[in-house]
Structure 1
Amino acid sequence: MNTEQNLSKAFTYPAIATGLLLLIPFIAMKFSEDVVWTLSDFILAGIMIFGTGITYTLVTRKSEEMAYRVAVGFALFTGLFLIWSNLAVGLIGSENNEFNSLYFLVIGVGIMGAFIARFKAAGLMLTLLAMAATQAIITVAAFFTGMAEVPESSVYEILAVNGFFITLFVVAAMLFRYAAQEESQTNEEEG
């Protein structure tokens, strides 16, 4: 199979998955007045889902290690879920609260860290820990800036939501740690 076919295949699966996932809210809009999506909602969701899918495909295409593939998938899903939740309802207050824009820093740390680590499992483990730390710093900043007083937010909600994402990032880091250990064992056996 040549490179052009591989690239075509790399784009086809995420595109099909994106289309199928976007059918869910499209159909739900026909049966429920609670689901109200605009064209821009569909476009943004499509970009996010397709972008996550193509990133997974491109990052994992050279690795046959299942642990690495699972770790990449878990990390990407967590990042997508963080941004999706933040844009949909906001993690602190409503989605219109400007403080929520800080959560894009977590994704920025992940992107920069992934490139610095050259997508190697050991470096990605550190990147995911840095993402968890960034999320924790944002949580602390929320308390120091009085965000627990914002309507629709409380100390408990801020701790619970941010703790949930911090936990997911730490779990992803541990998956990359396991993948790095498997990778080093494989290299020792081959060397």
Structure 2
Amino acid sequence: MVESRGTGGRRRWNRWRVAGWGTAAFLLLLPLLAMQVTGEMNWDLADFVVFGAMLGGAGGAFELAARTTRDTAYRAAVGIALAAAFFLVWINLAVGIIGSEDNPANLMYFAVLAVGIAGAAVARFRPHGMARALVAMALAQTLAAVVALIAGWGHTFVVTGVFVALWLASAWLFRKAARARARAGASP
């Protein structure tokens, strides 16, 4: 919905939106600033385009979710899930979770995201189904770590623990949003 409180039909930007997109712009400029200070940071145009697309995609997805509901728990759940997905992709592309970023075993972590995307589509973004999708992502993340351990590719327990905690925190918030929606009489 477009809010226009005496602004001649223009969209009103609130402080949270400005802070969110300002943070995204700052994060996009941070590598450029780092390149001026150290020679170890060497991004080319493709790196900036990919990072910008990741920031824009995550920010746009959150904007869409925030516009569809006023439920704070649902918004927080989406924010945590998107942040976790963003960092999972970023870490995988930058340095890799298993070995280097060139290790094909890291593709398992993109399967974790595929589980979440498929689960969200099946759930049609309803909070109860989203909670289940996020639990499935936590299980997929754990499975990837177990496969890496069994195959001798390395120990990823700390990284796995962080991501599993994020997926489960998001699932808990979606569950909370589902309960609130059920109490309000809306369909879960």
- TM-score band by shorter chain is 0.7 to 0.9
| Structure holding more helix per residue | 1
Q: Which residue of 2 aligns with 1:38?
A: 44
Picking from 76, 86, 92, the partner of 1:86 is: 92
Higher relative contact order, chain-length normalized (CA < 8 Å, sep 6+): 1
Tell whether 2:136 aligns with 1:130: yes
Shift of 1:178: 1.2
1:147-178 Cα deviation digits (max 9, x unpaired): 12xxxxxx3xx111112211111111111111
Shift of 1:61: 1.1
Gaps of 5+ in 1: 149-154
Gaps of 5+ in 2: 4-8
In 2, Cα distance between equivalents of 1:172 and 1:71: 4
In 2, Cα distance between equivalents of 1:52 and 1:67: 18
Amino acid at match of 1:93: G
Secondary structure, aligned partner of 1:183: helix
Q: Which residue of 2 aligns with 1:151?
A: none
Maintained 8 Å contact 1:122/1:180 = yes
TM-score, reference length from structure 2: 0.84
**Number of aligned residue pairs:** 176
Q: RMSD over aligned Cα, in angstroms? A: 2.3
TM-score, reference length from structure 1: 0.83
Residues 70 and 15 (structure 1), Cα distance of their counterparts in 2 relative to 1, 3 Å cut: closer
Identity of aligned residues (%): 39
In 1, Cα distance between equivalents of 2:73 and 2:162: 22
Amino acid at match of 2:180: E
